[in-house]
Every structure is written in C-alpha cells, then in structure tokens.
C-alpha cells in the first residue's frame, strides 16, 4: 500500500496549524517510522491516513488514487491500527474472542477463523493464552493480542500509533521484537509512530516531525547521526551513537565497526 | 482490589457445565415459574423441587460451600420474612404465648446485655449466630417475672400461631429453592456463554426490528469493562486518598463531597475509554447491527434435548397439578 501526502496542511477550526505543507511518500512493503516530540502532529498524520480527519488543503494519495470521502472506506478496510492504550482496544472477554472480533466483522467462516486465530496468536507468542481474560494479562501481552487481532484481518498496512508508550520496559521490548519479526516475515507496509528514538532503528525510512513540519527524512542511520537536528526537535539520539561519536578516532575503528554491527543488526 | 472476578463461574467440567447455556436459562426460568405454581403450604411439592435442585447440585460437582456462600447474602432477608410471618399471622391454633414484662429490672438487664453485645460485636466470629443468640436472650429476659416497678401497666402479649410458623417455613423454603436454582446457573455458566445464550434466545425479537446483536455487544462490553473500571476507581480512590481525602470519616456533607470527587473523574475516564474503544472497534470493521459471523457457535447436543424434556416435563406436571 503506497501512501503519498502532497502539500497537506491541517488545522482544527480557529487553531494554529497542526500540520503545515507536509509532503512525503511511504512505499508499499516498507516500514516507516514517524518520530517527533509530543504535540508535534504525529497522531494527526495517522488520523489523516485513516480518513478520520480530512486535510484543509493538499491531497493524500493511496495507491496513486486521490483519497476522497467516497473511497476512504475501501482503503480503510485495508488498514489495521494498534492504539496506545492496550486496555481501551480489548473488545473480547477472552484473548480468543478479541482476536476473533475483527474476523467476525469481516464475516469470515468459523473454521477459517479458528485457523487464522491459531496462526496469528502463534506469531505473537500468545497461543498459550487463548482462553485468558484481559485482567490476567500484562500490558505487553494485551498489546500483542491487539497486534494479533489486527494482523488476523490480513490488511495490507498496519499502523502502530505509539503502541509502546504506555508499557513497561519489558512490554516495550516484547512489542519491538514483534515489530521486527513482522518486518522480516510479512511483506506489509508498516507505519510506526513513536517518540522513542530506539524504535526507529529497524525501519526502512524515518520522518522526523516537529511543530507540524517534516524537519528531516531519511534512513535511520543518517537521522541518528544528526544529533543537532534531533536536539532541535526535542529528541535525543541513542547512547551507542553518542559513544561512537566520542570514539571516532582511527585507533578505535574496530570497536566502532563492532558497535555498528551490534546496533543495526540486533 | 487487584483481581476482581466477575461472575462466580467454577469450572469442574461436569455434565451440568456441558449443558447448552440456552437450555440452562430456559430451565431456570421454568423452575422459577414452577416454584411459584406450588400451592401455598404444600411442602411435598416444594420439597420435590428442592430435592431435584439438590440432585442437580450434586451433578455440578461444585463444592457445597460455594452454594452456601450465595445463600449467605439472603439469610437476613429469610429471617426477616420468617419473623414477620410468625409475629403478624394471627389465625389458627396458638402454640406458644410470650408475655413481655417491661419491669425496670428486666429493662436494665436486657440493655446491659445489648450494650455488651454491641461493644464486643467487632471481635466476634460468626456475627449472625451471636446476633440471633443475643436477640433470643433479650426476649427471654424480658419475659421473666422479675420484681420491680412496672413501667407499663399492660404487659405485651406475643402469640405464636401454628399457621405463622408453617407459612414462615414455606416462604423460607421457597426462596431457598429459587436461589439454589439460579446459583446452579451462575456457578456452571461462563458470563460469555450466558451472554451468547441470551443473544440467541432473543433472536426472535429481530423480527420486530429490534437489534439484539447490538444489545448483546453492549452486554459483552459491559462485562469486559467492569473489572477495568473497578481498577480505575481504585486508582482514583488512592490518588484522592494520597491528597488527603478520607473516605471513611466525615459527616454526610463531607461524604457527598468525597463521592463527587470520585464520581467526576470516573465519568471522565469512562467517557474517554468509551470514545477510544469506539474508534478501535470501528477501525476493526465493526458496524452496529450489521451481519457478523460468530466464533462461539452454540450447538444443541442430544443430551440437551433430554434435559429440556425433563425440565418441560416437571413444569407441565406442576401446571397440571395446579389445575386439577
């Protein structure tokens, strides 16, 4: 699923601009991270892609087709979204019921549903919890169930809207592992919206947003090395990069290259 | 308050557990009606129903203590109903007459006992039994022919009639049987199954263009969110307590303010949760009232028909007995 923003501007009535003249392309099958501090307009981009909001000016193209109010529903059923709060998106009374929720809406036959639930609960390592209640699960586990529920619908695109921001470190780790595995196994378009710099490491493309504009766009490595730009956007680069910067002397070359491998092939 | 179990489901995988939830609901409703079809003071017919309930209880393989626990909450109601029947029925044969003599001596001794009871009540195990014992003791003392100035010229006479005792016991037995049948239902059926069964049973209403699937979705989401909201309430309580709100102290006015300080954030949280849930549900393709397939399909087994036959059989027998 290819998504293209052309000079999109958005604001709520009588408010200052939330997004100003934004243009970018998200290619099909790629993983794109959108990073920025709180209130920078990241979530507004998701809402624009999902068609919950419509731009004030500019156009959004999905698969080279201009998005209008008439065709947004056709696109929307090809998008899955995982929200911030794992509790507020758990619909079913058990894990199994919750993964089935979207499938029931899609009117998928029962037997096929069982196969899909089995497949995707295994993918997120929740297959031993199928009959558990949400109260007995940790935040990370609940979020993994939400991911399985979205993946089971087999949409072309999955959006993670700050899916890790309400989790403890273990939960964050669980979700990031799932994301990495997803990127390897499934040829889905993934958009990850985050304010955690470490989460951009394994994406193909990164958009840095600040005050409603795109301040940088590129490969994660290039973004991470641009420390001053990240600082300007209220973000900080990862510790390894800081260390590498400090060590960039010829005699530490081998250590630096080792650190690189460690960071980007993790 | 970190684990709130909703519903009382106990899994023992007995034949009652395997019974289709719809049959269980129909059975419970039929028995409720049957219990009220039993003619007043006919202990044989009611006893037969109680025996049937006990057989079902044995078949559920759930510990008896679970049933007793559900009866515990209505003990007060039962005793209240019994006492009222005994005091206010005044026809038939008198079996015992109790004279209350309000002499100074009696009143002082009775008040003394009552005061001791109230003081040590906190530390007593099995509060209810002690309450009954104290009450009986006070009533006995008030009946003693002690000397002393009589407060009231007339002694008060309490007559206990046979009729009162019989109808009191009948009411207790009736409520007891009723509670046992409903407890069997709730102990052996998961809330999810109950909800699915209710949805399935209400399906005929769709002919009247009432969207039962929406209703069932509402119930299921309510079931899903009760524990979450409890946790949320707990968090707010703790947050308020840490800022100095004492929920146990204060007069009525202070209490009202405290409750408002809990209710307002609770409303805000609930609305926010509902809003986010609605967006999440919509994002996963839920359209209210639209046709959906079901993961949990309910299928009637042969044994379910046998159970239904038994339940309807008992029901019709009681109707026939009532008519003939």
Which CATH number is A56's domain given?
Answer: 3.40.50.300
Say whether both B73 and B191 belong to one domain: yes
- Describe the crossing of helices B43-60 and B302-323 by its angle, rounded to 10 degrees: 170
Name the band, by pLDDT with cuts 50, 70 and 90, for residue A36: confident
Mean per-residue pLDDT, A122-134:
87
pTM for the whole structure: 0.72
Q: What percent of chain A shows pLDDT beyond 70?
A: 97
pLDDT of residue A91: 87
| Cβ partners under 8 Å of residue A181, min gap 6 | A123
Q: Which residue of B has its CA nearest to A108?
A: B293
Q: What is the mean pLDDT of chain A?
A: 85
Q: What is the pLDDT of residue B4?
A: 45
- Is the CB of residue B295 less than 8 Å away from at least one CB of chain A? yes
Question: What distance in Å separates residue B67's CA from the closest CA in chain A?
Answer: 24
Task: Tell me which long-range contacts B51-59 makes (C-beta under 8 A, separation of at least 24).
Answer: B52/B314, B53/B177, B53/B180, B53/B181, B53/B184, B54/B180, B56/B16, B56/B181, B56/B184, B57/B180, B57/B184, B59/B14, B59/B15, B59/B16
Contacting residues for A245 by C-beta, under 8 A, at least 6 apart: A225, A227
Residue A122 lies in a domain: no
Domain end marker among B122, B138, B154: B154
pLDDT in tens, B146-163: 666 666 666 777 888 888
Q: What helix, strand, coil percent values describe chain B, rounded to 5? A: 70, 5, 25
CA A263 remoteness from chain centre: 20
Chain B residues touching residue A90 (CB < 8 angstroms): 224
Radius of gyration of chain B (CA): 27
pLDDT band, residue B33 (cuts 50/70/90)? very high
Percent of chain B with pLDDT over 70: 95
* Residue B2 pLDDT exceeds 60: no
B310 band by pLDDT with thresholds 50, 70 and 90 = very high
- Residue numbers of the domain that contains B134: 102-154
B296 CB neighbours in chain A (<8 A) are 97
Dist CA B10 CA B183 (whole Å)? 11
Do B204 and B227 fall into the same domain? no
Residue B298 Cα, gap to closest chain A Cα (Å): 12
- Tokens in use for A170? 């273990």
B219 plus B205 within the same structural domain: no
Q: Give B307's pLDDT tier (boundaries 50, 70, 90).
A: very high
Which residue of B268, B284, B286, B287 is the best one to mutate when testing the A interface, meaning the one whose CB has the most A CBs within 10 A?
B284
pLDDT given at position B275: 87
Q: Which residue has the higher pLDDT, B31 or B213?
A: B31
Residue B66 CA to residue B57 CA, distance in Å, equals: 11
pLDDT average, residue stretch A98-122: 91
Q: Is residue B25 included in any domain, yes or no?
A: yes
Q: Which of A51, A83, A102, A104 to probe the B interface (max B CBs under 10 A)? A: A104
* Numbered residues of chain A with Cβ closer than 8 Å to any chain B Cβ: 50, 52, 76-77, 79-81, 83, 85, 87-94, 96-97, 100-110, 113-114, 117, 133-135, 149-150, 153
Same domain, B202 and B217: no
| Predicted complex ipTM | 0.81
Q: Which of B21, B196, B224, B299 to mutate to test binding with chain A, by most A CBs within 10 Å of its CB?
A: B224
- Region B228-242: what's the mean pLDDT? 87
Residue A44 and residue A21 in one domain? yes
What local confidence, expressed as pLDDT, does residue B173 receive?
92
Residue B102 or A100, more confident: A100
What are the respective helix, strand and coil percentages of chain A, to the nearest 5? 45, 20, 35
Structural domain contains residue A121: no
d(CA A30, CA A49): 16
> Are A46 and A18 in the same domain?
yes
Backbone conformation region of residue A154, classed left if phi is above 0, alpha if psi is from -120 to 50, else beta = left
Q: Does B60 lie in the same domain as B192?
A: yes
pLDDT band at B127 (very low <50, low <70, confident <90, very high): confident
Give the mean pLDDT of B22-29.
94
Residues in chain A: 266
Structure token digits, residue B312: 């309807």
% chain B with pLDDT above 90: 23
For residue A159, the cross-strand partners are A81, A191
Q: Render pLDDT for A200-223 as a digit per residue (tens, 0 to 9).
A: 888 889 999 888 888 888 888 888
Is A140 part of a structural domain of the chain?
Answer: no
A254 exposure class (CB count in 10 Å sphere: 0-12, 13-18, 19+): exposed
Domain shared by A264 and A199, yes or no: no
DSSP letter at B158 equals E
- Long-range contacts of residues A43-47, Cβ cutoff 8 Å, at least 24 apart: A43/A161, A43/A162, A43/A193, A44/A10, A44/A18, A44/A19, A45/A5, A45/A19, A45/A193, A45/A209, A46/A81, A46/A159, A46/A161, A46/A191, A46/A193
Has residue A206 been placed in a domain?
yes
Which pLDDT band, with edges at 50, 70 and 90, does A266 fall under? low
Give the pLDDT confidence score for residue B68 in this predicted structure: 86
Residue A117 binned pLDDT confidence (cut-offs 50, 70, 90):
very high
Q: Does residue B71 fall inside a structural domain?
A: yes
Q: Is B299 on the interface with A (CB under 8 A)?
A: no
Q: Which pLDDT score, from 0 to 100, does residue B35 have? A: 92
Quote the CA–CA distance of A18 and B279 in Å, as a whole number. 21
**Taking 90 as the threshold, does the pLDDT of residue B96 lie above it?**
no
C-alpha gyration radius of chain A: 19
Statement to judge: residues A226 and A246 lie in one domain: no
B209 φ/ψ angles, rounded to the nearest 5 degrees: 60, 30
A233-246 mean pLDDT: 78
Q: Quote the pLDDT of residue B6.
A: 52
Expressed as residue numbers, the domain containing A72 is 1-77+193-235
Q: Alpha-carbon distance A37 to A209, whole Å?
A: 8
- Shared domain check, B193 and B50: yes
Q: How far is CA A206 from CA B59, B71, B89, in A?
A: 63, 63, 84
CB of B286 within 8 Å of any CB in chain A? yes
Regarding whether B217 and B319 lie in a shared domain, the answer is no
User: How many domains are there within chain B?
Assistant: 3
Neighbours of A68 (CB within 10 A): 11
Query: Does one domain contain both B106 and B224?
Result: no
Please give the residue that has the higher pLDDT: either B184 or A40: B184
Written as six digits, the tokens of B144 are: 């003693």
Whether the per-residue pLDDT at A3 is higher than 60: the answer is yes
In a domain, A95, yes or no: no
- What length is written for chain B? 324
Query: Per-residue pLDDT averaged across A241-263, rounded?
Result: 74
């Amino acid at each position: 699923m290819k998504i293209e923003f052309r000079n999109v501007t958005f604001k709520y009535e009588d408010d200052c601009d939330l997004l100003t003249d934004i243009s970018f392309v998200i290619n099909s099958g790629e993983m794109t991270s959108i990073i920025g501090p709180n209130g920078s307009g990241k979530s507004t981009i998701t809402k624009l892609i999902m068609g919950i909001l419509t731009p004030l000016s500019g156009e959004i193209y999905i698969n080279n087709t201009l998005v209008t109010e008439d065709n947004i529903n056709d696109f929307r059923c090809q998008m899955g979204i995982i929200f911030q709060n794992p509790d507020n998106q758990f619909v079913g009374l058990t894990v199994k019921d919750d993964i089935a929720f979207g499938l029931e809406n899609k009117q998928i036959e029962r037997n096929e549903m069982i196969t899909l639930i089995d497949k995707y609960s295994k993918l997120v390592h929740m297959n031993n919890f199928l009959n558990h209640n949400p109260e007995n699960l940790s935040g990370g586990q609940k979020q993994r169930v939400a991911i399985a529920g979205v993946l089971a619908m087999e949409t072309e695109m999955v959006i993670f809207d700050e899916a890790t921001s309400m989790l403890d470190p273990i939960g964050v780790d669980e979700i990031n592992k799932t994301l990495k595995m997803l990127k390897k196994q499934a040829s889905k378009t993934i958009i990850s919206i985050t304010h955690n710099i470490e989460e951009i490491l394994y994406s193909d493309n990164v958009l840095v947003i600040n005050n409603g504009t795109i301040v940088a766009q590129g490969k994660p490595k290039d973004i991470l090395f641009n420390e001053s730009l990240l600082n300007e956007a209220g973000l900080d680069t990862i510790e390894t990069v800081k260390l590498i910067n400090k060590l960039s002397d010829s005699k530490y070359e081998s250590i630096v290259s080792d650190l690189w491998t460690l960071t980007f092939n993790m | 308050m970190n684990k709130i179990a909703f519903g009382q489901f106990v899994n023992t995988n007995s034949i009652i557990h395997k019974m289709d939830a719809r049959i269980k609901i129909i059975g419970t409703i039929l028995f409720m009606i049957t219990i009220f079809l039993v003619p007043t003071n006919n202990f044989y017919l009611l006893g037969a129903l109680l025996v049937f309930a006990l057989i079902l209880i044995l078949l559920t393989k759930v510990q008896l203590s679970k049933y007793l626990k559900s009866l515990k909450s209505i003990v007060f109601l039962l005793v209240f109903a019994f006492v009222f029947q005994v005091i206010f029925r005044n026809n038939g044969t008198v079996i015992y007459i109790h004279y209350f003599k309000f002499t100074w001596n009696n009143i002082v001794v009775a008040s003394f006992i009552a005061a001791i009871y109230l003081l040590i009540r906190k530390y007593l195990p099995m509060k209810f039994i002690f309450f009954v014992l104290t009450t009986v003791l006070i009533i006995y003392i008030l009946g003693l022919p002690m000397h002393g100035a009589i407060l009231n010229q007339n002694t008060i006479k309490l007559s206990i009639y046979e009729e009162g005792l019989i109808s009191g016991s009948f009411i207790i037995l009736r409520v007891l049987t009723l509670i046992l049948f409903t407890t069997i239902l709730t102990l052996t059926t998961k809330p999810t199954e109950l909800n699915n069964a209710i949805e399935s049973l209400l399906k005929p209403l769709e002919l009247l263009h009432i969207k039962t699937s929406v209703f069932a979705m509402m119930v299921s989401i309510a079931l899903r969110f009760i524990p979450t909201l409890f946790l949320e309430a707990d968090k707010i309580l703790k947050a308020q307590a840490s800022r100095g709100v004492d929920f146990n102290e204060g007069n009525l006015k202070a209490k009202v303010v405290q409750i408002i300080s809990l209710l307002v954030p609770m409303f805000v949280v609930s609305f926010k949760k509902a809003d986010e849930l609605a967006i999440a549900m919509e994002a996963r393709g839920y359209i209210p009232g639209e046709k959906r397939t079901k993961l949990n399909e309910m299928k009637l087994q042969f044994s379910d028909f046998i159970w239904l036959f038994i339940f309807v059989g008992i029901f019709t027998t009681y109707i026939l007995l009532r008519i003939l």
